[in-house]
Chain A
């Protein structure tokens, strides 16, 4: 079983603040995905990163894949209440996806 640790586990910030979520592993992944999940719903894919060192931007969200393809980060600029949710990273190994421990983000208006 591949283990991905996310930090922090919980994060509560004021609207307009910046934040970074980390996803770390000792395993190498062929790709890494970030998802956001609302309570009672399935995770929704935000982005996939494939190349070591790759950086992708999605509006106020910036995703980075580590050079060694073992870790990743998600940075949110000027957080908004709509960003509230559970953020999950997932590493792909062949045709299997292994999920991180999750980061619960609350953005207070």
Chain B
């Protein structure tokens, strides 16, 4: 069966520091991969999605970037964090066929201080 791992679960970082969140998927090949951000008790904002290695599409211009160095690995990064980058970050995967569902990791709570 497929599983998705996301870490760390919580992170407190000072303003101006770099960020690296990692997500890996097991049990499937060539998944579509996604990074979302969620404000407290609200819906999810799509940040980046990837349909293959090195292929990244950005939905919202911002202080963040994403990379996909391997088929089942997706990384969210920032060179210098802002206070506004605080939030709950979620990684998700879906199958590479049309009309499949998205499955989520456990999320990372990022607090920028």
Q: Looking at chain A, what size class is its interface with the partner chain?
A: 20 to 34
Q: Which residues of B contact A48 (CB under 8 A)?
A: 99, 101
Chain A 9-35 interface residues, beta-carbon cutoff 8 Å to B:
30-31, 33, 35
Give the CA-CA distance A94 to B105 in the complex, in Å.
21
Q: Render B80-109 as a binary contact track against A, CB cut-off 8 A, 1 for contact.
A: 000000000010101010110111111101
Chain B nearest CB from A49 CB (Å) reads 11
Q: A50 — nearest CB in chain B belongs to which residue?
A: B99
Give the CA-CA distance A6 to B42 in the complex, in Å.
10
Q: Which residues of B contact A35 (CB under 8 A)?
A: 104
Chain B 52-84 interface residues, beta-carbon cutoff 8 Å to A:
59
- Choice from A31, A41, A45, A98 contacting B103 with Cβ under 8 Å: A45
Task: Please state if B99 and A31 are interface contacts (CB–CB under 8 Å).
Answer: yes
Give the CA-CA distance A45 to B94 in the complex, in Å.
12
Q: Given that A1-B59, A104-B41 are contacting pairs, would A98 and B105 also be in contact in the complex, using a CB cutoff of 8 Å?
A: no
Report if B44 contacts A (CB, 8 A). Answer: yes
Give the CA-CA distance A35 to B102 in the complex, in Å.
10
Where the two chains meet, the residues of A that have a C-beta atom closer than 8 Å to any C-beta of B are: 1, 4, 6, 30-31, 33, 35, 40-45, 48, 50, 86, 88, 90, 92, 94-102, 104
